[in-house]
A and B are shown apart, each in its own frame.
Chain A
Amino acid sequence: MSITEAGSPVPGIRVVIVDDHAIFRSGLKADLDPNIVVAGEAGTVEEAVAVIAAVRPDVVLLDVHLPGGLGGGGREVLAGSAPVLGSTRFLALSVSDAAEDVVSVIRAGARGYVTKTISGAEISDAVRRVAGGDAVFSPRLAGFVLDAFGTAPADIADDELDRLSARELEVMRLIARGYSYKEVAKELFISIKTVETHVSAVLRKLQLSSRHELTRWAAERRLL
């Protein structure tokens, strides 16, 4: 994955902010750390696809609900940016906590999901993490994962993609309880790198699992 400079800690992370509210975009720009450079902005699906293709940023901060296109919002931007998906990472942002939105955008290829209410420091941290190739799980996303995959650890008979391992479950539970990666590492006596590996593995399962229940579950669960 990390063929480009995104893998190594370069000082300036170039991001594109995709959100239809100009006020939110400017607020976010002001909140981000100085070493995160906003290379472009977009307000609609078409604009976003064009800007991302032109700028080729390290990270795209992508609102889930966007006007334009065929009405698919953030998912459509991800689909339209398929050629750059290897070098550009997407971090989904939303005011919506609905499972349907979260799961669908993750399955479309986003590396993380945060709600718009989080602080500037937290979002900068999430951007750095995503730029480094890791996944960003909010407590709520971890809760969705636990709800969707079930809280029982994987049997050997099960398809590997359809269940979480015991360790992954532990990590997800701690994240759902509000632990940071660092705190998770301390609690489980493992390194942060190992936590990140587990989280990435869960993300991969979430994206690739063919478990049909997952989509159905998300569609049914309209509640936050």
Chain B
Amino acid sequence: MTTAVSRPPLVRGSDRVIAGVCAGLARHLGWPLRMVRIGMVVAALAGGAGVAFYAWLWIMVPTADESAKRNARQPASPIAPAVSAPYVAPYAGPATADASPAAAAAAATAGAATAPAGAVPADSWRNRVPGMRYGKEILLGAGLLLAAGILIARLLGVDVPLGTLIPVAAILGGAAIAWMQLDETRRAGLVDKTKADQAGGWARLAAGLALVVAGVLVMVSGSGSWEQTWLALLSSVAVLGGVALVLLPWGLKFWRDLEAERAGRVRATERAEIAAHLHDSVLQTLALIQRRAGSETDVVRLARAQERELRGWLYRDPGKDAGQLSEGINAAAAEVEDSLGHAVEVVTVGDCAMSERHEALVQAAREAMLNAARHGGGAVSVYLEVTDGAAEVFVKDRGPGFDPDALPADRLGVRESIVGRMNRHGGTAIINSSQAGTEVRLRLPLPTGASAGAATNNNSNGEVRL
């Protein structure tokens, strides 16, 4: 319901007059700095409220450095990304919608502050975490303000029924603390099943409980008689303890069942995913093979294609960057296999990021593979080796061989697509043909300072991704 407004964390800025409070506030709320400063001064003149507010922020709000340190020390959760990738996914989407009520309220009152362009996805969780953390302080501040208001009202002679107000405040405070817990556990359920902050959670629950119980007791007993209250408090704590003792096993069992059910659901989802994949690929291919059983080449082609696809799915390396040279060569080999129904075995050693020149190398290699599959016999072997100095591709077949010099001039395949292309991009192509087979050797030396080039290339990639 609340739209996710990603705003910079509330930290004290560096362009300070006194302590950088106004600058930080302005940045956080997206208001003009001058306005915030004037507002603060006006508030300070109004009975010192601004001074108190300023001092409070000064104490509670960390500087940018401190905030960064704190965030670095407390990562969200070590296993959080594994458990719920969507939560830490880029662009704090729906996840922020259920941040603590206080933060949401703050966001609402602040009006439509636009998300600054500098808010990169990686920072979004960091923005959120301080917001939640300050929710507590905001509540505390509101309580203090209320107390101050009551005190002032009393000073001014207004009769405030303290006897009822204090217990009500206690109940409200306790309930708020306990309910904040609910909100947090819901988030925690999403983020982290290990309940990292368990001790804090229990303390909060206990504090909330104590406050509410005390408030209710004071209200019920109707008087400020301490010994009576103490007695009631003791007995009620005893009752609560007994109830907890009885309900604890049931609660634990319930919790375990929930955990087991959750784990079972994860497994079921995985299973469903695998089943869906197998259905889409392997079963379809098997059906096709049964229908084409008469044609050997078709069967082999289907089997090869399916094998390749399944291998890719089973052994794919999620850590591997896309757009590597080896991928290009593998894709070209797969294409040749598919179109000609001829097995192409690829072996790669080393790898590097794809560049325009590597594209030419892949195209030349593809042409060589096509020739080998068309004219050669037996399996086509492709070997890619990337070293610091060069990228080399060898394409070997066991066909009858041919004389490269005796090729007719109109055969563009070898002359243009392989040799010419390699030469244009500063590489070499050697064709070695004999009775026992043909081998095309492609070599593309890397330009000097290639490592620096690769580094800048990586950088620009990174920027694009952000």
Contacts and interface: CB of A to CB of B under 8 A. Distances in A.
Interface of A: 97-98, 117, 139-140, 142-143, 146-147, 151, 173, 176-179, 183, 221-224
Contacts of B436: 183
Interface in B424-444: 436, 439
B133 to A, nearest CB: 38
Contacts of A147: 349-350
B343 to A, nearest CB: 8
B347 A223 contact: no
A177 B315 contact: no
Interface string B105-134: 000000000000000000000000000000
Contact of A139 (B317, B343, B383, B385): B383
Contacts of B320: 223
Contacts of A177: 381, 383, 394, 396, 439
9 contacts: A139-B381, A142-B347, A143-B348, A147-B350, A178-B383, A222-B315, A223-B320, A224-B311, A224-B315
Interface in B314-360: 315-317, 320, 343, 345, 347-350
A110 to B, nearest CB: 19
B306 to A, nearest CB: 12
Interface of B: 311, 315-317, 320, 343, 345, 347-350, 379, 381, 383, 385, 387, 394, 396, 436, 439
B161 to A, nearest CB: 71
A98 B315 CA distance: 7
- Centre residue among B347, B350, B394 by max chain A CB count within 10 A: B347
B311 A178 contact: no
Given A143-B383, A176-B383, 14 more contacts: A97-B315, A98-B315, A117-B343, A139-B345, A143-B347, A173-B385, A176-B349, A177-B381, A177-B396, A178-B345, A178-B396, A179-B396, A223-B316, A223-B317
Contacts of A224: 311, 315
- Centre residue among B315, B316, B394 by max chain A CB count within 10 A: B315
A178 B317 contact: no
- Centre residue among B316, B383, B396 by max chain A CB count within 10 A: B383
Contact of B347 (A117, A140, A183): A140
A149 B32 CA distance: 61
A89 to B, nearest CB: 24
A24 to B, nearest CB: 14
A147 B317 CA distance: 16
B189 to A, nearest CB: 31
Nearest to B380: A178
Contact of B350 (A117, A151, A183): A151
A178 B348 contact: no
Contacts of A146: 349, 385
A89 B316 CA distance: 32
Contacts of A140: 345, 347
Q: What 7 pairs between A and B have smallest CB-CB spacing? A: A178-B381, A143-B347, A177-B383, A178-B396, A223-B317, A177-B394, A146-B349
Contacts of A183: 436
A224 B317 CA distance: 9
A178 B394 CA distance: 9
Nearest to B382: A178
Contacts of A221: 317
Given A140-B345, A223-B315, A178 B385 contact: no
A183 B439 CA distance: 12
B418 to A, nearest CB: 17
Contacts of B387: 151
Contacts of A223: 315-317, 320
Contact of B311 (A97, A142, A143): A97
A177 B392 CA distance: 11
